[in-house]
Amino acid sequence: MASHSLWSLSLGLLMFAVAALAAAPKKAVDVPFGRNYVPTWAFDHIKYLNGGSEIQLLLDNYTGTGFQSKGSYLFGHFSMHLKLVGGDSAGTVTAFYLSSQNSEHDEIDFEFLGNRTGQPYILQTNVYTGGKGDKEQRIFLWFDPTKDFHTYSILWNLYQIVFFVDDIPIRAFKNSKDLGVKFPFNQPMKLYSSLWNADDWATRGGLEKTDWSKAPFVASYRGFHIDGCEASVNANICDTQGKRWWDQKQFQDLDKFQWRRLRWVRSKYTIYNYCTDQTRYPTPPPECKRDRDI
């Protein structure tokens, strides 16, 4: 009996130790829209529902709209519940992203590229550093993102950027400065979201145009969540570095389960990865091996 108890205790300690190596992000704490965000343009194209806990962005007559966070942040965890434009959404782009505010800006992007009725949405992610991106990855989703709300999140710390869909990692971009790859680390960013017309490129490279007879196009948002190090736009260091939950050792890498889920996404749903585009990059960029993209 004693040996059984000892074995159980040892197993429990082992499981605790393994769990401590990495962890899923904390559950988002949602706040009303007006607490953290303000509209950015075309205010009359934003509808407020349920006391501000839900908003809708409208796109019609070539006029879209968007919103941004009140503050700027240097690292953190950011998430939003989105329900994308339903029906024929070709030519439209719904975006959820972080961006700094200068000519050589940093940016971390979710972009949802609309499509003709019956065709799947494409989710494009990208990372810009010093004003340069060219790190696109595209996937299909394993659900219909127009039927219900789903959670899209960004975990950004000094070690990695991770894109999540419903807590499933779909991309990891590691800090590879030691390999000569720029990484966003010293430009505070605001959080933005927008709905706009991009029929010059968004759907089949611009071959499919927006059908304005289907307007207005509507994207819905809930769960406005920010847990980041708030900083002035001129700051280049987080004064709480190393003290927040998203800055701890277990968030410096994905755990084995998360890597397995990421491999599942890559194997079944990835339709484009810049790391494997030999036309653009005959020699894969140096970060690709560290990010396990090749």
Q: Which residues are catalytic?
A: 107, 111
CA distance 96 to 195: 9
**Amino acid in position 126:** N
Question: Rounded to the nearest 5 degrees, what angle is found at the Cα of 129, between the Cα atoms of 150 and 226?
Answer: 35
Report whether 158 contacts 75 (CB < 8 A): yes
Sheet holding 270-273, edge to edge: 37-41, 65-69, 190-197, 92-99, 107-113, 122-128, 137-140, 270-273
Nearest to residue 248, comparing CAs of 129, 153, 160, 152? 160
Where is 263: in which H helix or E strand? helix 256-269
Q: Within 13 Å of residue 274, how many CA atoms lie on the same side as its CB?
A: 17
Tokens representing residue 21 in the block: 């190596």
